Amino acid sequence: MSKRIFITGFGIITSIGKNAFESLDSLLKERSGFGSLDILQTAHHHTIPACEIKLEDNDLHALAGVQPHMGFTRAASLGIIAAKEAIASANLSKKEIQNSALISATSAGGIRELEKYYYQLKDNTQKGAFEEFVDTGNPGEHTERMAEYFGVKKQIGTISTACSSSANAIMLGAQLIKNNRVDRAICGGAEALSKFTINGFNALMILDPQHCRPFDASRKGLNLGEGAAYIVLESEEAMLESKREPLAELLGYANANDAFHVTASSPEGMGAYEAMRGALASGKVDPDQVGYINAHGTATENNDLSEGLAMQKLFGKNMPMFSSTKPYTGHTLAAAGSVEAAFCLMSMKESFIFPNLNFKIAMDELNIRPEVTLQAKKNLKYVLSNSFGFGGNTSSLLFGSV
């Protein structure tokens, strides 16, 4: 159970880039994916902006290397694109891939395709190409598609715990390695924008028609986004045998649940506090050693206050630099944990802290402020990444430099 776990590769696709290189360039140039909905067909096309990947489904199929009309959903294609980059980044062999675990996360799965073909699928007298999407409402369908595509044989699993999903996928992959179930795991999440998510969050009245402003006193809600990211975890023994150079070490992690409300965190941030405290304790790192926190920072009134109070309570006067990167990509829901884990890896590798865009006015309830300018030449030894989901499902990941 004391095995050390290292990260040897990662891949990402969001509204700010089709890969890690493009994503880093956007982060450094403070280029956001925020804008109108041009690909998803919705009645809210002109009224609800989001961070949408400006590629049609067939373009994503081509990037993923899959054939159209074979039942690959937008979420599955995004997952394959990001996982392909992660696998190439780690230079995994075919045998290593087969013997890896694939743990993937999603909230809505292939519901986007079900929405499109709902009436045809409901009519038993109709037949057509839409039948390939009949099973895509199952969140695990995209994982099975990815496993088949890559030839993963050892173990596959799907996590769906709302916005903490892909952070929990990374945690599950680490636990499989620690318990000698696998030597390596490909972990992350994929999420595509859909009418279901747009309408659902709109009904909750937590969408901002303007560009979101995490931790700002004027914040009015989040912007939705889509994307995917995966990281390759390896045991120390497997990494040494393969002679790979690690990007970072997954030092600690924790999940907590404050069980306060079905869609809101506890006002005092107990779940967030316990997740961060637990991650640091499992990694044997003191709060004053943390150099940066990639905050969950959704720009909703409840989350930012809850998370801010939790950070103040845990770190006190030794508050590390922190920022939310959601103004770049929007809130990618189940994929947020792995997307922001990838950003943390970029921060550590490139020695940058990416700014919290759009912050201007400090919250009266907090005495802390996020970083608002790009911070360069930061030697980050320990970085914390927060992902908090509906129902109070809160998770934190602790990364260490190597």
Do 5-242 and 252-400 come out as alike in CATH topology?
Answer: yes
- Taking the C-alpha atoms of residue 78 and residue 81, their distance in angstroms, rounded to an integer, is 5
Concerning whether 212 is annotated as a catalytic residue, the answer is no
CA distances in angstroms from 103 to 137, 163, 170, 347, 398, listed in the order given: 18, 15, 7, 24, 19
Q: pLDDT-derived band of residue 114, with 50, 70 and 90 as boundaries?
A: confident
The predicted structure's pLDDT at residue 196: 94
Question: How far apart are alpha carbons 172 and 176 in whole angstroms?
Answer: 6
pTM beyond 0.75: the answer is yes
Going from N- to C-terminal start, the domains of the chain cover 5-242, 252-400
The tens digit of pLDDT for each residue in 293-342 reads 999 999 999 999 999 999 999 999 999 999 999 999 999 999 999 999 99
Cα dihedral sign, 103-249-20-50: positive
Res. 70 pLDDT band, cuts 50 70 90:
confident
> Span 5-242: which CATH code?
3.40.47.10
Q: Give the model's confidence band at 136: pLDDT under 50 very low, under 70 low, under 90 confident, else very high.
A: low
In contact, 141 and 371? CB cutoff 8 Å: no
Whether residue 46 lies in the annotated active site: no
Asked about 331 being catalytic, the answer comes back as yes
| 380: its two tokens | 């980050």
Distance, CA of 130 to CA of 203 (rounded, Å): 29
Amino acid 123: pLDDT: 66
Contacts of 14 (CB under 8 A, 6+ apart): 23, 33, 51, 53, 225, 226, 227, 228, 229, 328, 329, 332, 339
Does residue 190 carry a pLDDT above 80?
Answer: yes
Which one is catalytic: 51, 163, 187, 344?
163
Residue 240 DSSP label: H
> How far, in Å, are 202, 237, 250, 283, 399 from residue 8 at the CA level?
39, 13, 11, 19, 13
The single residue of 51, 187, 212, 331 carrying the catalytic annotation is 331
pLDDT above 70 (res 92): yes
CA 326 to each of CA 176, 201, 203, 295, 337: distance values in angstroms, whole numbers, following the listed order: 30, 16, 21, 9, 11
The backbone torsions φ and ψ at residue 232, rounded to the nearest 5 degrees and listed phi first, read: -100, 120
Helices (H), 101-164: 111-116, 118-122, 141-150
Helix (H, G, I), strand (E, B) or coil at 70: coil
* Distance between CA atoms of residues 103 and 123, nearest Å: 34
**In whole numbers, what is the pLDDT of the chain averaged over residues?**
94
Assigned superfamily of 252-400: Thiolase/Chalcone synthase (3.40.47.10)
Q: Calculate mean pLDDT across residues 369-382.
A: 97
Strand, coil or helix: what is 40? coil
pLDDT in tens, 3-59: 899 999 999 999 999 999 999 999 999 999 999 999 999 999 889 999 999 999 999
pLDDT tens digits, residue range 234-275?
Answer: 999 999 999 999 999 999 999 998 877 776 777 788 999 999
Q: Is the per-residue pLDDT at 129 higher than 60? A: no
Confidence category of residue 399, pLDDT binned at 50, 70, 90: very high
Q: How confident is the model at residue 124 (pLDDT cuts 50, 70, 90)?
A: low
